Structure 1
Amino acid sequence: MTPSVNVHQWQQGQVIDLTIDDLSNSGDGVGRWQDRVVFVANTVPGDKLQVRLTRVKPTYGYGKQLNLLEASPDRIRPACIVADKCGGCHWQAVAYPRQLQAKELQIESALQRIGGFESIPMQPILGTTQPLGYRNKVTYPLARGSEGTVKAGYYRQGTHQIVNLNQCPIQHETLNPLLVSAKVAIQERGWSLYNEKKHQGRLRHLGLRIGQHTGQALLTLVTTGYLPDIKEQADQWLSEHTDLVGVCLNINPERTNRVFGDETRCLAGQPYLEEVFLGLRLHIQSTTFFQVNTVQAEKLVKSILAQLDLQGNETVIDAYCGIGTLSLPLAQRSQRCIGIEVQAEAVAQARQNAALNGLHNTDFFAGAVEHLLLEVSTQQSAPIDVAVLDPPRKGCDRNVLEALVKITPGRIVYMSCNPATLARDLKILCSRGYTLNRVQPADFFPQTAHVECVAFLEKV
């Protein structure tokens, strides 16, 4: 065992004893040493460690665990054998109740520190009985191993080195054999794999998606161009896997970190899977955004509907509506529901899903929310009673918030996967005539530091 250094030094390479007290928003364990904060990956609150400092700043630093001196009562055995290497999960060693506690604190801290809220009307987080096997969609980068074998998996923490997987405990179990089958076929076909540094090779990513309630699956290959024998292989996959309803090819020739390109072709079967969400039938394509945790998404939407308690005479606008995941349940309970979404393809799917469920009191518009929100709202014959927001992680454009203030809906529902930008935007809205009367967290992403949250605001 390396001896600890018990002197008042603060330098890279120094070895210290550290107790982990908390979990950071990025997933690292957090300890304090001589009034400085130290972040250590793959640790659990309550762990007592011997740590080597790998990077230091005046008030904080990063360390690497050398020895676990005393394990936390909240430390458990990870379900995955590569949990300490793979960047897909942060908290597989953390007992699930402790994960939920950390996520509640993350939201509370952001609302206090960034939003300036002193009294937070926060409800207990909506946890899950299924903290493993919940992901309905995965997208794996591909690479060649040292022996020429095909590797598929998540990146090693802090790198672009792929940790090879043949199964993943957080993805739906039906996707595991599809992952293995795809890797074997890619190897046998000899398709070239993309090298991001040289911008050479064809095959970039493997995408898998499943309907949690229907069991229908899609397989998508992301390439820079055509692959030889791809149609033959697509037909073979479809015949070998009874759960597979479609095989797609997405073309992304650009030098970019963006996974999907603009063009998707269906090679075999159908270009969508069917899912049932809160009793509604949805068609979901391979590149469509849909929450990765179907069961938890249903639980949170039920909570939203219960809190709104719509009476059937309201006009509701759903900004960032996607394929209508929230718009359609709202339309069932309101007089009219209007959706806005920047992706034209998602808007087309939203319209199809509305027709599929016989909902004719909906309108969907394609375009940026910051450009369309005010225009679409003022065109309605009735005032907007409820505005629903579900923006990307960066939060709402300031113009969106300004438009909301002009529209003056009686109630605003803000759904977010980023507590920091949620707190920032709530602070603006509450300075412009709204009050925060309920915050409902939900755990969509067990084993990770990510958390979903819905805030309910009312016009003063």
Structure 2
Amino acid sequence: MKNNYEGLPVAKNEILTAAFEDLTSEGLGVAKVDGYPLFVVDGLPGETATIKVTKLGKSYGFARIVERLTTSEDRIPTTDVLGTRVGTMPLQHMRYSAQLAFKQNMVVQDLKRIAKLPNIKVHETIGMSNPWGYRNKAQIPVRGKDGKLVTGFFRKGTHELIPMENFHIQDPKIDEAIIKVRDILQEYGIKPYDERKNIGNIRHIMVRRGYYTGEMMIVLVTRTAKLF
């Protein structure tokens, strides 16, 4: 097999066994082959897996898990696999206390590498009693499917919309509002935006909800100044 770049220790579509050493800032597991990092969705430090290389770059590549061989003690059941596919919940498979420690370490490493401040004390991340349904703002894309308006989120790294109605990390009232607004737009025959043809109208539904008041602000992001 040939590499896209000469001198790389792995090739595209190669299947190998690797150990995850770290996480990226986006929550991807990091496995290294002769110092060359491969970023893998759903990999946790301390785990080993059979992986398949999917994409190569000069400095790093990407792979996917074929079979998990060992399991981290920080791994927990996934709430919704769609949240992993679109990247809205990239660490949902990781114990919350471990997530907090990961975020603390991210700040420590950024201070060392970027700010050149290695001796700054970084306190433990303050968590929540319930780390779900906490976001009070959402901007959700709208597209068309089978003649209907569909709301959801783009598959990570693409513009392919995956239909979703429960985002889990947003205030549930926001999820409900998005569905109601989408259905009203459908009732009035509003056309969804098609970015390939640059036609249609409604692009996003944005909702913000006041934590204390419960009041909502709804914004429609459109291609044109008028809906009709």
Tell me if 1:144 matches 2:178: no
Q: 1:253-306 CA deviation, whole Å, 9 max, x = no partner?
A: xxxxxxxxxxxxxxxxxxxxxxxxxxxxxxxxxxxxxxxxxxxxxxxxxxxxxx
Structure 1 spans left out of the alignment, 5+ residues: 1-7, 229-460
Opposite residue 135 of structure 1, the aligned amino acid is R
- The 5 Å alignment of 1:64-75 reads 64-75=64-75
Question: What is the CA-CA distance between 1:186 and the residue it aligns to?
Answer: 2.1
Equivalent in the alignment of 2:85: 85
- The 5 Å alignment of 1:431-442 reads none
Question: What is the CA-CA distance between 1:135 and the residue it aligns to?
Answer: 0.5
Would you say the 8 A contact 2:9–2:33 is kept in 1?
no
Q: Distance in 1 between matches of 2:13 and 2:205?
A: 39
Equivalent in the alignment of 1:18: 18
Evaluate the alpha carbon distance shift between residue 200 and residue 100 of structure 1 in structure 2; reply closer, same or farther with a 3 A threshold. same
Q: Distance in 2 between matches of 1:131 and 1:108?
A: 23
Equivalent in the alignment of 1:186: 185
Question: What is the CA-CA distance between 1:11 and the residue it aligns to?
Answer: 0.9
With normalisation by structure 1, the TM-score equals 0.46
Would you say the 8 A contact 1:45–1:74 is kept in 2?
no
Q: Distance in 2 between matches of 1:218 and 1:57?
A: 43
Question: What is the CA-CA distance between 1:151 and the residue it aligns to?
Answer: 1.4
SS in 2 for 1:190: coil
Q: 1:205-247 CA deviation, whole Å, 9 max, x = no partner?
A: 101111112211122211222224xxxxxxxxxxxxxxxxxxx
Q: Distance in 2 between matches of 1:38 and 1:9?
A: 11
Q: Distance in 1 between matches of 2:226 and 2:60?
A: 49
Would you say the 8 A contact 1:167–1:179 is kept in 2?
no
Equivalent in the alignment of 2:63: 63
SS in 2 for 1:32: strand
Q: Distance in 2 between matches of 1:117 and 1:227?
A: 52
SS in 2 for 1:150: strand
Q: Distance in 1 between matches of 2:56 and 2:121?
A: 38
Q: Distance in 1 between matches of 2:70 and 2:147?
A: 41
Tell me if 1:52 matches 2:47: no
Question: What is the CA-CA distance between 1:59 and the residue it aligns to?
Answer: 5.0
More helix by share: 1
Evaluate the alpha carbon distance shift between residue 188 and residue 100 of structure 1 in structure 2; reply closer, same or farther with a 3 A threshold. same
Equivalent in the alignment of 1:212: 211
Q: Distance in 1 between matches of 2:81 and 2:57?
A: 33
Equivalent in the alignment of 2:158: 159
Question: What is the CA-CA distance between 1:159 and the residue it aligns to?
Answer: 0.4
Would you say the 8 A contact 2:10–2:33 is kept in 1?
no
Question: What is the CA-CA distance between 1:16 and the residue it aligns to?
Answer: 0.9
SS in 1 for 2:52: strand
Equivalent in the alignment of 1:121: 121
- The 5 Å alignment of 1:336-355 reads none
Q: 1:99-134 CA deviation, whole Å, 9 max, x = no partner?
A: 111111111111111222231222222222231100
Structure with the greater alpha carbon radius of gyration: 1
Would you say the 8 A contact 1:202–1:225 is kept in 2?
no
SS in 1 for 2:101: helix
Q: Distance in 2 between matches of 1:56 and 1:156?
A: 20
Question: What is the CA-CA distance between 1:60 and the residue it aligns to?
Answer: 3.0
Q: Distance in 2 between matches of 1:88 and 1:9?
A: 32
Q: Distance in 2 between matches of 1:165 and 1:14?
A: 33
With normalisation by structure 2, the TM-score equals 0.89
Structure 2 spans left out of the alignment, 5+ residues: 1-7
Equivalent in the alignment of 1:169: 168
Question: What is the CA-CA distance between 1:21 and the residue it aligns to?
Answer: 2.0
Q: Distance in 1 between matches of 2:58 and 2:199?
A: 42
SS in 2 for 1:186: helix
Evaluate the alpha carbon distance shift between residue 213 and residue 63 of structure 1 in structure 2; reply closer, same or farther with a 3 A threshold. same
Question: What is the CA-CA distance between 1:15 and the residue it aligns to?
Answer: 0.5
Question: What is the CA-CA distance between 1:149 and the residue it aligns to?
Answer: 2.2
- RMSD between aligned residues: 1.8
Evaluate the alpha carbon distance shift between residue 162 and residue 69 of structure 1 in structure 2; reply closer, same or farther with a 3 A threshold. same
> How many residues in Structure 1 have an aligned counterpart in Structure 2?
220
Would you say the 8 A contact 1:29–1:40 is kept in 2?
yes
Q: Distance in 2 between matches of 1:109 and 1:75?
A: 23
Evaluate the alpha carbon distance shift between residue 142 and residue 58 of structure 1 in structure 2; reply closer, same or farther with a 3 A threshold. closer
Evaluate the alpha carbon distance shift between residue 62 and residue 81 of structure 1 in structure 2; reply closer, same or farther with a 3 A threshold. closer
Q: Distance in 2 between matches of 1:165 and 1:24?
A: 25
Q: Distance in 1 between matches of 2:93 and 2:118?
A: 33
Q: Distance in 1 between matches of 2:202 and 2:157?
A: 23
SS in 2 for 1:112: helix
Q: 1:360-413 CA deviation, whole Å, 9 max, x = no partner?
A: xxxxxxxxxxxxxxxxxxxxxxxxxxxxxxxxxxxxxxxxxxxxxxxxxxxxxx
